[in-house]
Structure 1
């Protein structure tokens, strides 16, 4: 969503200039979770009968204490009847934040729960391979892999699973 991306990039730029980008990210993560799970908020955000002033007052009262760049964005969203964009903006902000900090989320699928040492070793190998400074790793159990691991960083999948190797062998046999 292009509009959410533009809001997120602007928010990050202003937050970074003020040194509050991490705090804004944390607040956005919380907001995203609340907005996604609160049907009353969704109805309020999408109700065309709620006045601009009522929306802005709601933002002022509800989001006291968040950093100025975020409260300013929320007021703009309220004024333009775009409060429903909060989850999309939060997701885009997270991407911009990760890029700026040269970090990325990494999903490691394995047949069993990996030890901290195994996760650390995998992380170090992929840091060398990808050039990121930091990988935020989540280990997911996937019994269908048979063995090995499958990792996903962003939209890139690295599949070293036995399941994938068997598929590759089957393809090679079928081609001959």
Structure 2
């Protein structure tokens, strides 16, 4: 199965004071570069759901008007983009998670899709694996322009849960304080 990574980089960054999270600097490099460094070796291709390629040269998928809003909009745009790719796994990660597991894709794709990561006693819905067909089926009867949480989408699809032991690998950088605290943890 071809594995496609999707970096969810379309957020509003309200808690970051309006700074685009993908461009926020962690130990001298933008967050998106940390995420790419960890995700790219695990997949066959990486796409970005957002407004820019951030100098990466990767394909950028804009939200579509015929789908949901929020993070599910990125998943919808990727599913439409990959509709003609047979046997494809679509793995989502957020742009603000520079410590994502190096075995994330292997573990999420080790069984039937969809699958969602679970760590630290909670679901991690931005870290999930889908097929474009499943995404299309889940969104087929939902109103365009409505918000849809990834956790709800995963529940509705009866996503398989994959337990991870290290909750720190799923830590998000949501504020300037989080960014400063993460400085000491970057390799």
TM > 0.5 fold call: no
Range into which the TM-score falls when normalised by the shorter chain: under 0.3
Normalised TM-score (structure 1): 0.24
Higher helix share: 1
Bigger-Rg structure (1/2)? 1
Instruction: Choose between structure 1 and 2 for higher RCO, CA contacts under 8 A separated by at least 6 residues.
Output: 2
